[in-house]
């Protein structure tokens, strides 16, 4: 029998915010029926208007505040909320760190697990931290503009300061935008599938200050390509690499499969935990270098290596964790599905004179099964999967190999809880507190390190 929701669309109500969702929206309950409200914080009393009603929950917007949270930050730019760049900027930073700790603890308690979650490791400056930007380019009123999409839409809001990005990257985007305007290069039009430039991507080494500009284009060649490239590297002295990425498909995927170096080298270099890494246009590299060092150091410390161990790094990317582990282990095996990442990883092993590392191109779950069949016996397995978490087959293969420890670096607490439960069914248990690390200040995302040991 379908029960009727206790609220109706457009109805105005007075509510008290009880909690924040994992997306950072306020939650108010009307007869146990949850309403989600943007820009509302726990403890606040406000008048809301219901905007949408589903069978089990609804959405509302704040109309007026009767009381405000002591954790509310007043002076915020609503553009960052509209575009989803900084959805938590209205929450004071110490409260953001508590929210992230609470988020992990809450998900485990919903799963009837009482786990210890340590306070979140934060940043001294929780802004201007991103070392990579991918910004869409569109024509607005006949002029090429760079900015960010309004949430849940493809309407571009022009922006010059992205708040959470390295300011040198923001400045570079404007220089490139102005040069594209100068050469009258048209931006891509999604509707007509015409035009040229779809996105501009900039990467900048935190320690090296080497900069890469990637122009993502619908066409195989850019109009006035040679002059354009010349102008960019003259305008931006830090640029050591200019790359063209071709994406001719009608798609929401940002990058295509064809990448050509137009100036300099195909990679930039940066260092992490004292190691040097070559980073190409399409390879994954953590966007917050200061926090990544804390995160990876934590993973290494928790692995407890003595120099005698065999370690597997599933989802190794360009080898950042693998090579850091290799300095403390006997042998490290890394696997990743992206072939360019593995090419970079092999180059990075040579750069850092580390010969005790083997890299394979494969899906992590297939390679784990293969290593297991080949009789590889790891002492420690490190996993750092994407948001969707681990494939069940990977967890099964890992458990069959029987490592003493599994170090799980997670970027999604929901899949972490699911995967940890599976490991527990196969004879592993959580060892010590889970350690959250704030890789993405001003957003609801949280990374964490969990150690599982064989019972």
Give pLDDT, residue 2.
Answer: 58
* Residue labelled with tokens 């083997």: 358
Give pLDDT, residue 436.
Answer: 97
Which string of DSSP letters, residue by residue, matches 148-196?
Answer: EEPTTS--EEE-S--SSB-HHHHHHHHHHHHHHHHTTPPBPBTTTTB-S
Per-residue pLDDT at 214 exceeds 80: yes
- How many residues can be counted in the chain? 455
Task: Name the packing angle between helices 93-110 and 413-425 (round to 10°).
Answer: 40
In 3D space, the residue among 69, 79, 17, 72 whose CA is nearest the CA of residue 48 turns out to be: 17
Give pLDDT, residue 23.
Answer: 85
Question: Where does the pLDDT of residue 351 fall: very low under 50, low under 70, confident under 90, or very high at 90 and above?
Answer: very high
Section 277-281 average pLDDT: 93
Question: Where does the pLDDT of residue 1 fall: very low under 50, low under 70, confident under 90, or very high at 90 and above?
Answer: low
Give pLDDT, residue 22.
Answer: 85
Question: Where does the pLDDT of residue 188 fall: very low under 50, low under 70, confident under 90, or very high at 90 and above?
Answer: very high
Sequence ranges of the chain with CATH classification 2.40.50.140: 12-70
Taken in order 265, 271, 272, 274, the sign of the CA dihedral is: positive
| Residue 162 tokens, joined | 């992205």
In 3D space, the residue among 393, 407, 403 whose CA is nearest the CA of residue 310 turns out to be: 403
Dist CA 365 CA 392 (whole Å): 8
Dist CA 72 CA 385 (whole Å): 33
Give the model confidence (pLDDT) of 239-275 as tens digits: 999 999 999 999 989 999 999 999 999 999 999 999 9
Section 390-405 average pLDDT: 94
- Residue pair 185/194 in contact (Cβ under 8 Å)? The answer is no
Please, what is the average pLDDT of the chain?
94
Per-residue pLDDT at 164 exceeds 90: yes
Q: What is the CATH number of domain 288-454?
A: 3.40.50.150
Give pLDDT, residue 435.
Answer: 97
Per-residue pLDDT at 340 exceeds 90: no
Give pLDDT, residue 205.
Answer: 97
Question: Where does the pLDDT of residue 75 fall: very low under 50, low under 70, confident under 90, or very high at 90 and above?
Answer: confident
Section 69-91 average pLDDT: 89
C-beta atoms surrounding 44 within 10 Å: 21
Section 27-45 average pLDDT: 95
Long-range contacts of 294-298 (CB under 8 A, 24+ apart): 294/121, 294/437, 295/409, 295/437, 295/439, 295/447, 295/449, 296/272, 296/320, 296/321, 296/324, 297/273, 298/121, 298/435, 298/437, 298/449
Catalytic residue numbers, as ranges? 411
Dist CA 428 CA 426 (whole Å): 6
Give pLDDT, residue 84.
Answer: 85
Pairing of strands 239-246, 258-264: antiparallel
Dist CA 329 CA 37 (whole Å): 49
Fold of 132-270: OB fold (Dihydrolipoamide Acetyltransferase, E2P) (2.40.50)
- Residue pair 437/298 in contact (Cβ under 8 Å)? The answer is yes
In 3D space, the residue among 182, 83, 87 whose CA is nearest the CA of residue 136 turns out to be: 83
Give the model confidence (pLDDT) of 362-382 as tens digits: 999 999 999 989 999 999 999
Give pLDDT, residue 244.
Answer: 98
Question: Where does the pLDDT of residue 47 fall: very low under 50, low under 70, confident under 90, or very high at 90 and above?
Answer: very high
Helices and strands per DSSP (H, E), number in the chain = 10, 23
Dist CA 446 CA 448 (whole Å): 7
Dist CA 84 CA 153 (whole Å): 11
CATH label, 12-70, candidates 3.10.350.10, 3.20.130.10, 2.40.50.140, 3.30.70.2660: 2.40.50.140
Give the model confidence (pLDDT) of 281-331 as tens digits: 988 889 999 999 999 999 999 999 999 999 999 999 999 999 999 999 999
Section 8-34 average pLDDT: 93
| Residue 188 tokens, joined | 């891509």
Alpha-carbon distance values, 66 to 7, 19, 275 (Å): 21, 17, 53
Sequence ranges of the chain with CATH classification 2.40.50.1070: 132-270
Give pLDDT, residue 80.
Answer: 84
Sequence ranges of the chain with CATH classification 3.40.50.150: 288-454
């Amino acid at each position: 029998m379908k029960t009727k929701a206790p609220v109706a669309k457009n109805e105005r109500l007075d509510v008290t915010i009880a909690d924040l969702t994992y997306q950072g929206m306020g939650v108010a309950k009307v007869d146990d029926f949850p309403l989600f409200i943007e820009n509302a914080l726990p403890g606040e009393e406000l008048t809301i208007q219901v905007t949408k009603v589903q069978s089990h929950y609804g959405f509302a917007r704040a109309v007026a505040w009767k009381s405000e949270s002591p954790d509310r930050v007043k002076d915020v730019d609503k553009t960052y909320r509209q575009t989803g760049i900084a959805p938590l900027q209205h929450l004071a930073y110490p409260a953001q760190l508590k929210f992230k700790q609470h988020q992990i603890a809450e998900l485990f308690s919903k799963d009837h697990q009482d786990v210890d979650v340590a306070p979140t490791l934060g940043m001294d400056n929780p802004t201007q931290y991103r070392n990579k930007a991918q910004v869409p380019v569109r024509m607005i009123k006949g002029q090429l503009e760079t900015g960010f999409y309004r949430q849940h839409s493809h309407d571009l809001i022009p922006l010059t300061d992205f708040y959470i990005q390295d300011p040198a990257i923001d400045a570079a985007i404007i220089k490139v935008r102005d040069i594209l305007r100068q050469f009258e290069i048209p931006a891509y039009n999604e509707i007509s599938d015409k035009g040229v430039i779809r996105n501009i991507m900039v990467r900048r080494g935190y320690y090296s200050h080497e900069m890469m500009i990637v122009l993502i284009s619908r066409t195989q060649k850019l109009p006035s390509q040679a002059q354009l490239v010349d102008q960019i590297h003259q305008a931006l002295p830090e640029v050591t690499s200019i790359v063209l990425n071709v994406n001719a498909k009608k798609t929401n995927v940002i990058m295509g499969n064809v990448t050509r170096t137009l100036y300099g080298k195909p990679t930039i270099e940066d260092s992490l935990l004292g190691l040097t890494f070559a980073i190409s246009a399409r390879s994954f590299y953590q966007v917050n270098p200061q926090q990544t060092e804390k995160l990876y150091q934590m993973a290494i410390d928790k692995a407890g290596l003595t120099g005698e161990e065999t370690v597997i790094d599933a989802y190794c990317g360009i080898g950042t964790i693998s090579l850091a582990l290799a300095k403390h282990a006997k042998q490290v095996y890394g696997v990743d599905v992206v072939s360019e990442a593995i090419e970079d990883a092999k180059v990075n092993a040579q750069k850092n004179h580390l010969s005790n590392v083997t890299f394979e191109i494969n899906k992590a779950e297939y390679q784990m099964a293969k290593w297991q069949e080949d009789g590889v016996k790891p002492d420690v397995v490190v996993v750092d999967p994407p948001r969707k978490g681990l494939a069940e087959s990977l967890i099964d293969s890992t458990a069959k190999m029987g490592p003493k420890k599994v170090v799980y670096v997670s970027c999604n607490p929901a899949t972490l809880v699911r995967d940890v439960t599976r490991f527990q069914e196969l004879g592993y248990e959580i060892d010590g507190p889970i350690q959250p690390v704030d890789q993405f200040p001003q957003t609801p995302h949280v990374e964490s390190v969990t150690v599982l040991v064989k019972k």
